[in-house]
Structure 1
Amino acid sequence: MNRQQQKLKTRRAIIDAAFNLLDEQRSLSSVSLREVARAAGIAPTSFYRHFKDIDELGLTLVDEAGLALRQLMRQARSRIDAGGGVITTSVNTFMEFVVANSNEFRLLLREHSGTSPAFRAAVIREIQHFIEELSDYTANHTELSGNLASLQAEAMVRLVFSAGAEAIDASPAQREIQAQRLIQQLRIISKGASFYVSKA
């Protein structure tokens, strides 16, 4: 393994260690640089070869969490294109992400309303990316105008994130009930947008 590969491997270990330290009790602001370094198996001084400080690591975690979610939803759209229902497939995929990546989703939820302006801005940016992708998909697959597709996407994404906050610590049975309710709510939003077009 050359030096560049080793550097990338160590950087990945730091990111993974930081995610693993986050849970239902711990937020990003309560995790120290020394803890992350210890969990990653490196000396604290080695941390600075990869990140300027713990805040830069935090911004990277937000970016990674948002990217992971967007990539998963892109896969959902592939499943939709193969014949799955748009809303049901999207909700099921999102709930899978919440369960499999609970620390990543908790990070997005917490920092969205956290004390760090930089982290809040980063999460808002990730949510906006999510809205824009859904808006583009909707505009390309329905009769909605770009503006209406954007309004619908924003309403849907905010509702989905709110549902995710409830689902993250729920039992599988509770989560299934929440998913079905979310599917119905999203269908109502979608029908409302279609009705708006028909009356325009």
Structure 2
Amino acid sequence: MKKAIGALCLFLWGCATPPPEPPPEYGVSGKGLPQSSAVIHLAQRIAEDLERHHDLPDKTKLIAVTTPVWLDEIDSSGRLALQLGDGLVSALHQRGFNLIELNSSRQIRVSDRGNLILSRDYERLQGSLPVSQVLVATLSRDSHGVIINSRLVDIASNRVASTSQAFLPWQDSSGYLEQSNSVTEQGGLLYRQEEPGRTPVREVTP
């Protein structure tokens, strides 16, 4: 009798305990990104899209990942773009793509700041690289966040082999973005909005 009562209690306790919730799939469900490591999850989602939508998948082709740029300032980037570019290198490599490091110089520089090989000085970098495809991405701001459009392009033909579209809300950007102020500057003139957030978000500068 005692065994039966004990089994019944265990059964009722099991029914009362809700099953653990599975972790959210950010690339599929469309839910917001977590507050921490948002750019890492964003890069993984873009890499997943590029792999899924590649019309001629060939992971032996050598790919160069360029730094994303702002759509309205095609020659400039920022903290968010630089971090996203590095994140895309990691995310694509983890999916088996063949990547090349663009910022690797010809030799290691030994100094009191450390043993360094990465550089942004074009004179230190390697000349010609056997790259088949290049990943390019643009960032576009609206009042809620940033739209990221990415594409893999064949260098020989300029043919687009794969694309991805993603969105990063400013609230989920881990401090890279902030809501616009009620007073904004455009063309040297100041404009006052009724409330903050009526104009495109801003990138936070350190």
Scaled by the length of structure 1, the TM-score of the pair is 0.28
Structure with a larger share of its residues in strand:
2
Scaled by the length of structure 2, the TM-score of the pair is 0.28
